[in-house]
Structure 1
């Protein structure tokens, strides 16, 4: 297996997972009307997803240069994690907005 591919994939998994966890915490805080904490958790989540995206961008740039990495199940899993985290971010933002409106 390509060590560099796995290293990048695990970084994506790590930061996407951190971001998703922060988003779920943000929803729970909004549920308790702790909107300032919820907003901070969303900001934290965005920072984590940005880190994950930086690693994904490295993969994409290498691929565009014809120097792509070997695709393996760990990399596929990492991409899946990132896509789910991004979807969760969109939904968390909407859910928190609904909690704010219904306060």
Structure 2
């Protein structure tokens, strides 16, 4: 694992975690009936996912071009964070819609 790859992997971890945290904050806001804040936190979560995808796309492009991309525990951890973040955002959107119905 070289410094260049680590510079791509660390933002995946950071932005994946940020997406998850923002999604949880969105659910909490919806639970409190603050749907404007919930929407704002979902937007922040989506923005974090987009940022993470930039790094992931960079790695995929390198691999597609035949460059060596090491798969390390850091890479696995980064992908785990990103996928967890994406799953939380998707579920948060559904939960927010349920709160909108419940709180009518």
TM-score class normalised by the smaller sequence: over 0.9
Q: Deviations over 1:27-82 (max 9, x none)?
A: 00000000000001000110011000110000000000001321110011000110
**Which whole-Å CA distance do the structure 2 matches of 1:31 and 1:9 have between them?**
34
Q: Structure 2 length normalisation: TM-score?
A: 0.95
Q: Quote the RMSD (CA, aligned, Å).
A: 0.8
2:10 is matched with 10
Alignment partner of 1:58 is 2:58: yes
**Which whole-Å CA distance do the structure 2 matches of 1:56 and 1:8 have between them?**
8
2:77 is matched with 77
Gaps of 5+ in 1: none
Gaps of 5+ in 2: none
Q: Structure 1 length normalisation: TM-score?
A: 0.96
**Which whole-Å CA distance do the structure 1 matches of 2:72 and 2:5 have between them?**
8
1:94 is matched with 94
**Residue correspondences, number:** 103
**Which whole-Å CA distance do the structure 2 matches of 1:13 and 1:68 have between them?**
21
**Which whole-Å CA distance do the structure 2 matches of 1:68 and 1:91 have between them?**
35
